[in-house]
């Protein structure tokens, strides 16, 4: 089987679902495109998701699977830290933050971030696509018994989505 070479281009928490069996499913391929096929990206469709774009998508340069790896890195970062990674005062400020891709390590906010998980996240968030994982499938060992995947499992078990974290910190949730 040959990979389809599809770029999702919209990897954000709203488009990632986890089944009851624990499988990760991507949804909403509305702006996805197959590699090698010319297609103009709908900027309005992406406007609400600019904090999850890759620097190369923001800058309008060539895209490949590593662009989606960056989006996965942003989602993982936010799951682990409970904070938005790229949130400027307006869209232009957020685009500048994404294009610079200056990212503090998760351990700067959470002392107990597993080293293996931090390495996975930080490599996924490299500004230069050549410094990132070649594909999401390469981001970690395939066997869950390895320390790397165990670290991911531990972090995900304690992680909250950004929406859940905001709800927990809201005054209405304090009694």
**Residues belonging to the active site:** 10
Q: For CA atoms 92, 45, 124, 3, give the dihedral sign.
A: negative
Query: For the chain, how far is it from start to end, CA to CA, in angstroms?
Result: 55
CA angle (66 as vertex; 54, 156 as ends), nearest 5: 80
Long-range contacts of 23-27 (CB under 8 A, 24+ apart): none
3-state SS record for 123-168? HHCCCCHHHCCCCHHHCCCCCCCCHHHHHHHHHHHHCCCHHHHHHH
Q: Answer yes or no: are the C-beta atoms of 82 and 148 closer than 8 Å.
A: no
């Amino acid at each position: 089987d040959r990979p389809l070479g599809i770029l999702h281009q919209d990897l954000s928490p709203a488009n990632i679902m986890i089944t009851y069996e624990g499988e990760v499913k991507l949804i909403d391929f509305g702006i996805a495109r197959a590699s090698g096929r010319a297609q103009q990206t709908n900027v309005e469709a992406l406007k609400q998701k600019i904090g999850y774009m890759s620097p190369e998508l923001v800058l309008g340069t060539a895209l490949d699977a590593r662009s989606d790896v960056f989006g996965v890195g942003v989602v993982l970062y936010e799951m682990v830290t409970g904070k938005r990674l790229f949130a400027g005062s307006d869209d232009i400020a957020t685009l500048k933050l994404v294009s610079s891709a200056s990212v503090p390590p998760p351990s700067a906010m959470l002392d107990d971030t597993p080293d293996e998980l931090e390495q996975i996240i930080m490599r996924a968030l490299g500004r230069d696509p050549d410094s990132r994982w070649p594909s999401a499938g390469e981001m970690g060992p395939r066997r869950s018994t390895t320390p790397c995947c165990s670290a991911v499992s531990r972090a995900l078990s304690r992680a909250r989505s950004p929406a859940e974290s905001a709800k927990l910190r809201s005054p209405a949730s304090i009694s």
